[in-house]
A and B are shown apart, each in its own frame.
Chain A
Amino acid sequence: MSHGALNPPDLSFGQKLLHIHWFFVLLLCLTAGIGITMLYSAANGNLEPWASRQAIRFGVGLVVMIGVALIDIRIWMRYAYALYAVTLVLLALVEVSGFIGMGAQRWISLGYFNLQPSELMKITLVLALARYFHGGNIEDVGRPTFLIIPLFMIVLPAALVLRQPDLGTTLMLVMASGAIFFVAGVRMWKFAVVIMAGVAAMPVAWQFLHEYQKRRVLTFLDPESDPLGAGYHIIQSKIALGSGGVLGKGFMQGTQGHLRFLPEMQTDFIFTMLAEEFGMVGGIGLLGLYSLILVYGVALSLRCRNQFGRLVGMGITATFFLYVFINIAMVMGLIPVVGVPLPLISYGGTAMMTLLIGFGLLMSVWVHRDVMIGRRGGDEV
C-alpha cells in the first residue's frame, strides 16, 4: 500500500460522467445515424422493419455502454478471468445444446433473446489476455514459456467457434489477440514464425473447412465460375458498388439494392448500398469516420496509466478495426465472403451490443486513466 498515495481518490458518479469522452460518443452516434438512414433506404423509405428497431437497439446499447464505462476498471480486471471462464463454458454449451440457425450452431436460447457466446468472447478474451499480460514485465513477455498460457486462452475458444462453424469470428478472435500480443511486447520474430507456420499449415487446414467455406474461397478466387451460385453475392456487390461512381446515384436512388439484385443488403452488404447511393465520396466519408474512431481508440488507450487498461483499449480498438476491414474488404471482393457485419451500421442486435459493451470498456479505461494497478491487481506497483 506504500504507493497507494499515488493513486487519485476515487471519482464520484458525477465526476465519472463528466470524464466520459463525449466527443467519442458523438462519433459513435453519428456512425449509427448513418446506419439507420441506410436501413431506412433499404426498406424503400420505411422505418419498418429495420430502421426503427435498429434505433431502439442503439439507444439501449448506448445506456449499457455508459453503464459499463462507469464501473471501475479494477473491477473489470478483478473479474476478467471469471468472465472469460463463464463465456468459455457458454461456448461449450452451444456445442451441446445450442439450436441450429443458418446451418451453424451459435445461440443459446434464453427465452426472450438468444445469447451468442462467440460474440461475448470477443470482449472477454480481450479482458482475460489484458489481465494476463498486465501481470508480466518485459522480461516475462520475452520468455517463450510465458506465452503458453495466453496461447491456450486463445486456442480454446477459437477451436470451439471454428467448430460451430464460424470462420469470421474465429479469425477475429485470433487476430485481435494477435494485436494484444503485439502491443504487449512479444518479440517480432515470434510473429514471423507463427505466420510462416500458418502459411505452411494452410493445405492441411483446407481439409478441415466445411464444403460451403471451401466453395466461398474458390468463388472468391474466380467468382465468374459460378455466377448464379456462390459467386452471385460478390459479383452483384461489385456491380452495385462500381456503378455508384464517384458521387453515387443519390439517396434511395440505388437500383441494384432496391431491385434485389443485392442480397442481404440490410446486413452484411449494407456498405455496398451506401457506396452505390453516395458513391466513393460517401464510402470514403464513412471510412474517415471509422478512422477517427480508431485514432481516438488508440489515443485514449495510450493515455492510460495502467497496462491492463491500455491493453483492453487496444484490444477493443483492434476488434473494431477487424469488423470494419473484414466487412468492407469482403463486399469489395478483396477477401472471401465471411459473415462479418459492418460495425454500428449493419442491421442486427448482437454485433451492436458487442461493440457498445467494448466501447463501454474503452470509456472505462479513459475515465479511470489515472488509476494505477499493481501486478496482482492491487494498488501496489
Chain B
Amino acid sequence: MHRDSERHKLFGRRAVMLASGKAVLLSALVGRMYYLQVIEAERYRTLADENRINLRLLAPPRGRVVDRFGTALADNQQNYRVLLISENTRDLEYTLDMLNQIMPIGPSERRRIIREVKRNRNFVPVTVRKNLEWQEVAQIEVNAPDLPGIFIDVGQSRNYLYGEELAHILGYVAAVSPGEISGDPLLELPGFRIGKAGVEKVHDLALRGSGGSSQVEVNAFGRVIRELNRQDGQPGAEIALTIDLGLQRMVSERLAGQSAAAVVIDVRSGDVLAMASTPGFDPNAFNRGLKSSEWNDLVSNPMAPLTNKTIAGRYSPGSTFKMVVLLAALEKGVISPSSKVFCSGVTELGDAKFHCWRKHGHGLVDAKDAITQSCDVYFYEIAKRTGIDRIAAMSNRLGLGERSGIDLPGEKSGLVPTKKWKRGALDAPWHQGETLIAGIGQGYMLVTPLQLAVMTARLANGGFATTPRLTKAIGGEEQGRTATPESAFKSLGIQEQHLKLVTEAMTDVVNSPYGTAFRSRIKTAEREMAGKTGTVQVRRISKAEREKGVIKNKDLPWKERDHALFVGFAPAHDPRYAVSVVVEHGGGGSSTAAPIARDILSEAQRRHSAETGVVTSEDSGPVKNTQKDRGAG
C-alpha cells in the first residue's frame, strides 16, 4: 500500500510535468496560428488571390514504336470525348434529350451525368461519353446549334496499328495502378496510361517523356480566364525495333488459327526480325479497358493468348535437340563422325525398352544419317556414352537453359537437367535411362522457341555466341552492335569440322530424299534451307498401344496431339536467317512445322533480296569461307 502511494505521488508529479510540456507545445501552435493568421494574414490573403494562377500539368505525347525500317507499329490517335458544361445549357434535361436522339443515353448514364453536374460548379465540364466514333463526332458538330452546352474535346490515345500481330512484342498500355505511382506527377494525371507489358513496359520511361505545364488564370471561383504561359514537355522517345513488319505479319498470318510460336533472327547480328505467338489479343482493348467477360475469355482460353510463347512457352525440344547431343559427343570424342550404330528399332537398358520412332529401325547409321533420318537409337547410344552433364554443358554453350536476356518482360529460362539439378530439385539420383531420354530431347529438358532460334543461329554462324536483340534504337540513338559475329560475339570454341558436319547434316534433313523434311525443301537455287524436325509426345504411349499400332494424331483430342517443332536456317550455303517454329499439338514436325519454316525462310530471303538486290557473295560475312568448303565437300 505504502509503496503504491509513493508510486502514485511520483506519478502525479510527473503527470503534471508532462501536461505542462504539452501545454507549452499547444501554446506554440496557438502562437504559430497567430503569426500566420494575424501578423502575416495580409500577405497570405494576397497570395490566395494569386493562387488564381493555376498550374496545369500537360501530358506529353507517348513515343511511337516503329519497325527496323521506320514503319509505325504503335502511335497515338486523336480521341474524341463529349463534354457538357451545365451553365451553357438553357435546360439540362432538354440538352440531354436532344443528345439522346443522336447517341442513345441510358437512364443510369443519365443519372450519373446529372449527379456529376450537381456535384461540380456549373462551369466545370462533365464527361458525357468517351471514345467517340468519327461519325458521332460529325453528327454532334452538325447539330451543335441544337445542343447548347455540349462540346467535343480532343485527346490522344494509344493506337496499335497491327493489333494481334504485334501484341506480344509491343504489349499494351493501361491506367496506372496505385502501386505504380512513383513520384512522377504525370502518373497522377487522370486518364494517364502506363506500359503494362512488352516493349511498352520495358521502355516505358523512354516512351513516356516528361510533362509540360500550362499556367492559366482562373477567377476566384476557379473559372479559366486565359492561358498565361505554356511549357510543352518533352515528348516520349521513339523506339525502333529490329522487327521487320512485313515478315512479322507474314509469320503471324502463317501461324494464325494454331497455338503456335515462331522466331526469326539474323544469325550474324542477333536481330530479331520476327517473333510471333498465336493466338494473340487486341492490345487496343486493354487501353480502352476490358469488359470482365472479355478478360475471362482471354484467361480461360486453352491456347493462352496472353502468353508470349516465344519467350515464356516451355517445350521439350524433341529431335531439334539432337544437334546438341551430337556436338557434345563429337567434342568429347566418344564417337567419330564415321562410326556407325545399328538401329533395330529398339534399344534396351536393364529392363526398359527405348523405341526408335521408326518401328523397324534404320539399320547401320553414322552421325550424318542419324541427324538426317532422326534416328533415335543412335542418339540413345551416344547420349549414354557422353553422359548428361556434358550434354548439359553443350546445351548451355548453345544458349539453352538460361535467359537470352532479350529486352522483354517475362522471359523464361527453360530447363537443362543435370545430376546436380535433379538432386537439388527432386531429391533423387539421376538414372541412366533419363540420359537416354534426354538424348532425344525429351524428359526434363525444356526450351523456349527463342532459345531454339538462338541455338540454331549459333550453329549456323560458325559457332559464335549470338544473343538476340529487339531494340534497334531509342530516340534515334542506335543501341549499337556491329553486324559481324566475329567482332560482336565471342566464339563458343566448338571445333569447326564438327560444326560443319552438323550443318551439312541439317542441310540433308531438308534436301536429301532420305531427310525427314525433304518435302518442305526450298527449290529456288541459292535459297535452300537447312534444318531439323522435332515431334514431341505430350502423352505416354503404352506397351499395349505400341503393339496394336500407335494412334494417329488426327484421331486424338487436340490436347493430346504431339507438338510439332522445326528449327532451320537459310541460305544453307551461307546462313543469314535462323528460324524456330513450335506448333502446340500440331502433329508432326515434318508435316506441320517444316512447311511453316520453309514459307518463313523463303519470305525472309525474298524480302532481303527485294531490299538489297540479289543476295550476292559480297554480302556474306566471315562465315563465308567455311561455307564454301562445305559446298565443295
Q: Which residues of A contact B (CB under 8 A)?
A: 3, 44, 46, 100-103, 137-138, 179, 182-185, 211-212, 228-229, 236, 238-246, 255-256, 258-261, 275, 279-280, 283-284, 287, 290-291, 294-295, 298, 301-302, 305-307, 310, 314, 318, 321, 324-325, 328-329, 332, 334, 372, 381
Contacts and interface: CB of A to CB of B under 8 A. Distances in A.
A185 B22 contact: no
Given A138-B3, A287-B29, A242 B11 contact: no
Interface in B401-455: none
Majority-rule SS of A interface residues: helix
Contacts of A228: 55, 185, 213
B3 A137 contact: yes
B290 interface: no
B15 A307 contact: no
B181 interface: yes
B119 interface: yes
Contacts of A290: 26
The 3 A-B residue pairs with the shortest CB-CB distance, nearest first, are: A242-B44, A243-B48, A280-B37
Contacts of B121: 44
The residue in B14, B28, B40, B55 that gathers the most chain A C-beta atoms within 10 A of its C-beta is B14
Nearest to B40: A242
Given A3-B1, A242-B36, A307-B4, 7 more contacts: A185-B14, A228-B213, A240-B48, A241-B37, A302-B11, A302-B12, A310-B8
Contacts of B38: 245-246, 280
B525 interface: no
B18 A101 contact: no
Contacts of A46: 119
A223 to B, nearest CB: 13
Given A242-B36, A280-B37, A298 B19 contact: yes
A240 B32 CA distance: 14
B57 to A, nearest CB: 9
Given A242-B37, A244-B37, A302-B15, A185 B7 contact: yes
A173 to B, nearest CB: 17
B318 to A, nearest CB: 41
B134 interface: no
A321 B37 CA distance: 23
B15 A256 contact: no
Contacts of B182: 103
B220 interface: yes
A265 B485 CA distance: 62
Given A239-B51, A291-B26, A259 B37 contact: no
A101 B3 contact: no
B351 interface: no
B36 A182 contact: no
B18 to A, nearest CB: 6
Contacts of A334: 28-29, 32
B352 interface: no
A261 to B, nearest CB: 5
Size category of the binding interface on chain B: 35 or more
A333 to B, nearest CB: 8
A138 B6 contact: yes
Contacts of A138: 3, 6-7, 10
B8 A307 contact: yes
B478 to A, nearest CB: 33
A332 B48 contact: no
A287 B8 contact: no
B179 interface: yes
Interface in B164-184: 178-179, 181-183
A332 to B, nearest CB: 5
Nearest to B213: A228
Contacts of B102: none
A381 B11 contact: no
A90 to B, nearest CB: 21
11 contacts: A102-B178, A182-B14, A185-B10, A238-B36, A242-B37, A242-B43, A258-B222, A260-B222, A314-B15, A325-B25, A329-B32
A306 B5 CA distance: 10
B37 A256 contact: no
A127 to B, nearest CB: 17
A240 B45 CA distance: 8
A334 B8 CA distance: 35
B29 A325 contact: yes
A10 to B, nearest CB: 21
B558 interface: no
A294 B4 contact: no
Contacts of A100: 178-179
Given A242-B44, A287-B26, A334-B28, A280 B18 contact: no
Given A284-B33, A307-B7, A243 B41 contact: yes
Contact of B1 (A259, A287, A332, A381): A381
A242 B47 contact: yes
Contacts of B32: 329, 332, 334
A103 B51 contact: no
Contact of B45 (A103, A182, A242, A261): A242
A255 B183 contact: no
A229 B51 CA distance: 16
A103 B178 CA distance: 8
B69 interface: no
A268 B182 CA distance: 21
A239 B323 CA distance: 75
B29 A261 contact: no
A280 B34 contact: yes
Contacts of A284: 30, 33
Nearest to B17: A182
Contacts of A137: 3, 7
B47 A239 contact: yes
A101 B48 contact: no
Contacts of B25: 325
A279 B10 contact: no
The residue in B32, B54, B213 that gathers the most chain A C-beta atoms within 10 A of its C-beta is B32
B183 A261 contact: no
A381 B4 contact: yes
A19 B397 CA distance: 82
Contacts of A255: 48, 51, 220-221
B218 interface: yes
Interface string B34-76: 1011101101110110010011000000000000000000000
Contacts of A238: 36, 44
A332 B45 CA distance: 16
A186 B528 CA distance: 90
B36 A332 contact: yes
Contacts of B1: 3, 381
A332 B29 contact: yes
